[in-house]
Structure 1
Amino acid sequence: MNDKKHGIGLFHAIKGIGSAFLSERNFRIHSIAAVFAIGAGFLLRINRLEWMILVVVIGLVLQAELLNTAAEKLIDYIKPEFHPVAGLVKDVAAGAVLIAALAAFAIGLLLFVPKLYDIFF
């Protein structure tokens, strides 16, 4: 395999993530929420299984945001004027992010609330 080509792919992937972070408010919000969740994991001393669950959920939310951004950018490029089907595609992609974010929130509650309860009560 050509190591140079793999490096280029990694560069473009990082560039895409950076672009989404700079241009997409919701990606920034979810990234900041991920940092807080990771911080809470350290403070509350979650176990290895809980870390695995947290990392997977964070990855899924950020991945959903990136795919949503990609879909929106592609649709805006292909069909800059409003079209009901283009709007529906954007809505469905946004719905996927919402489902991932709600699942992550529920998992966050399941992970952190019992630990907080033990500390305060």
Structure 2
Amino acid sequence: MASQPQRFRVLRQRAASFGHAFRGVRLALASELHLRFHAVATVAVVALGFYCRLERWEWALVALAVGAVWSAELLNTAVEAIVDLVSPQHHPLAGRAKDVAAGAVLVVALAALVVGLLIFGPRLWQLWARP
């Protein structure tokens, strides 16, 4: 069994890991225009979700879609940083890596859009179609 000081060290390391992760999100938000766009979109979607009084399962789908988009955007940012580090000059493979990472964000964002249309679309249509 682990000793008391060792357990506290492990807990501190875990807490530090969360701190590094939050710093990464903060740095990405400060440097990436697309991520700031996603942040604004997230706030709008959450507000619309409260307005439309989403069911729990709908919130789950919205949360998964938002989380997937944020994750893809953060991974894209990391790929771009690594590629810029290892290949400061233009190289076709570096460009391909960046394009593929950006394509992953596009695919996830389009899937999130479909989720949004399926969940919010009927409700918004009813609001606009009212006489």
The aligned residue for residue 34 of structure 1 is: 42
Q: Partner of 2:88: helix, strand, or coil?
A: coil
Q: Partner of 1:81: helix, strand, or coil?
A: coil
Confirm or deny that 1:74 pairs with 2:82: yes
Structure number with greater Rg is 2
Confirm or deny that 1:50 pairs with 2:58: yes
Where does 1:54-65 land on structure 2 (aligned, <5 Å)? 54-65=62-73
Q: Partner of 1:80: helix, strand, or coil?
A: coil
The aligned residue for residue 114 of structure 1 is: 122
Instruction: Structure 2: state its 5+ residue gaps.
Output: 1-6
Give percent identity, aligned residues only. 42
Bigger relative contact order (CA 8 A; separation at least 6): 1
Instruction: Kindly provide the CA deviation profile for residues 65-116 of structure 1, in whole angstroms up to 9, marking residues without a partner as x.
Output: 0000000000000110000000000000000000011111111111111011
For 1:21, the aligned partner's letter is L
Q: Distance in 2 between matches of 1:16 and 1:45?
A: 32
The aligned residue for residue 97 of structure 1 is: 105
Q: Distance in 2 between matches of 1:117 and 1:75?
A: 44
Instruction: Give the RMSD, CA atoms, in angstroms.
Output: 0.8
Q: Distance in 1 between matches of 2:56 and 2:23?
A: 31
Confirm or deny that 1:87 pairs with 2:95: yes
Q: Distance in 1 between matches of 2:128 and 2:109?
A: 27
The aligned residue for residue 28 of structure 2 is: 20
Q: Distance in 2 between matches of 1:35 and 1:99?
A: 21
Is the deviation greater in 31-40 or in 11-20?
31-40
Q: Distance in 2 between matches of 1:116 and 1:67?
A: 32
Instruction: Structure 1: state its 5+ residue gaps.
Output: none
Q: Distance in 1 between matches of 2:128 and 2:91?
A: 53
